[in-house]
Each structure stands twice: as structure tokens, then as C-alpha cells.
Amino acid sequence: MSVTSLTELWHEVVGTQVDPPRWQIIGAGAAALVAVAPRPIWRLTRNAVTIAHEGGHALVALCTGRRLSGIRLHADTSGVTVSYGKPRGPGMVFTALAGYVSPALLGLGGAALAGAGHITALLWACVALLALMLLMIRNFYGLLTLVATGAGVFAVTWFATAQVQGAFADFAVWFLLFGGIRPVFELQWQRSRGRAPQSDADQLAKLTGVPGLLWVFVFGVVALGAALLGAHWLVPHWTTVALPGR
């Protein structure tokens, strides 16, 4: 990106870019699927989904009037967000609910921006969110993970060509959409074996009286729905069938 003033930077951010070729969008989706599906790769890339997960907890906690204490990200790709406030009630429910749905909803928001051609705005929004989250990190590994992720996104945003930025943005959106689905299945697999007694779904069950399995179902519906709608926004005409004229 080559800008000489804040005004020029602002116009770059709010401006639109040309629609990328369909092969680029579909290729980015295939690459994102490779980053999510194989377990060895997922062990590394899942860190990005954990950032979105814990960031969702933190954002909703603040929006519902809870006091945010801090966020920790761990090397095993787990994380924890600590907030203080009423132990029950809507604020606590929405805070617990936010984690598993946040990656998918962030991906959906990204798909809306990318589909409308606002690639630069999407990338700068990612940089801003990572910078804000950095203020609440309370452990070294979390700090290192966020700095590395933020630096990578910033480098693409500032130095890469428009085509590279578009491909990267498409990949990131697909990754969040796909990455929002797999943790839901992993959650239920762990719950079925008694390995996640304090999971978000089980905390929601204690708060609301609704069984944890139904909350997992809600997570899954949101993740799958976001993926389908996001795919439609990214590739709006991929299901169009040409009908013969009369």
C-alpha cells in the first residue's frame, strides 16, 4: 500500500476493489479446507480459531457490562477468558454462548465485506481487532501468538499487492467459516467421553437448564449456517444454472 496522507489511507480503507476471479475464491477455499481438515496442520492453525473464540467471549463480556480481567492463550490451542460480574443472568449466558459461534460469525462478517469488494477494510479490521485484544492478553504465549498473527496480517495489508491481499482475505474468511465448524464436533466428541465437564455448553446448561447437547446443536447450526451463507456471499453465482430459453 502506497499512501502519503491519512486522507489517502482512509480512502484506501473505505474504497472497493475489483471482484477477484472465481478460481481465486474457490482456490482460497480449498487451501483453507486443507488448513482445517488434516489433524497435524489443524494443531497449528487452530490457534487462530482460539483467538477468535476467546475474543468473542471478551467482546460480549464487555458489551453486557461485565468487567474483563484478561485473556490467556495456551500452546495446546486452548484458551480462557476471565470476566467478573453477576454469576447468572443474560450477560453471563451471552458471554458463554459467544465463544463457539464467534469464529463462524466473524467469517460471515468477513464474507460480507469481501463479497462487497471491501478487501482493504476487512484486513484493517482484522489488524484493529487483534491490536485491541492484545491489550487484554495476560500470558507470554498469548502475547507471542497475537503479535505474530497481527504482524502477518499487517504485512499483507501494507506491503502486498492488491491481488495478494484479495487472495489472503478470501483464505482468511474461508478459514474462519470452516474453522468454526470443526471445534463444535471436537467439543461433542470430548463431552461424550467425559473430557470436557466445564465446557461452554455445560456451563450454559447450568445457567439455563437447557441440556448441553442442545447448546452444542445451537453452536453447530450457527457454524454451518454461517458457512453456507458466507459461501454464497463469496461466490454468489456458483449455484446458478443456465436454463434453456423458451
Q: Where are the domains of the chain?
A: 18-234
| Beta-ladder partners of 154 | none
Distance CA 113, CA 107 (A): 10
3-state secondary structure of 71: strand
Q: Under 8 Å CB-to-CB from 47, ≥6 apart: which residues?
A: 73, 77, 145, 149
In the prediction, which pLDDT does 79 show?
A: 96
**pTM score:** 0.91
What pLDDT score does 20 carry? 84
CB atoms within 10 A of CB 78: 12
Classify residue 89 as left (phi > 0), alpha (psi -120 to 50) or beta.
left
- Label residue 13 by pLDDT band (50, 70, 90): low
What's the pLDDT at 219? Answer: 98
104-133 residue pLDDT tens: 999 999 999 999 999 989 999 999 999 999
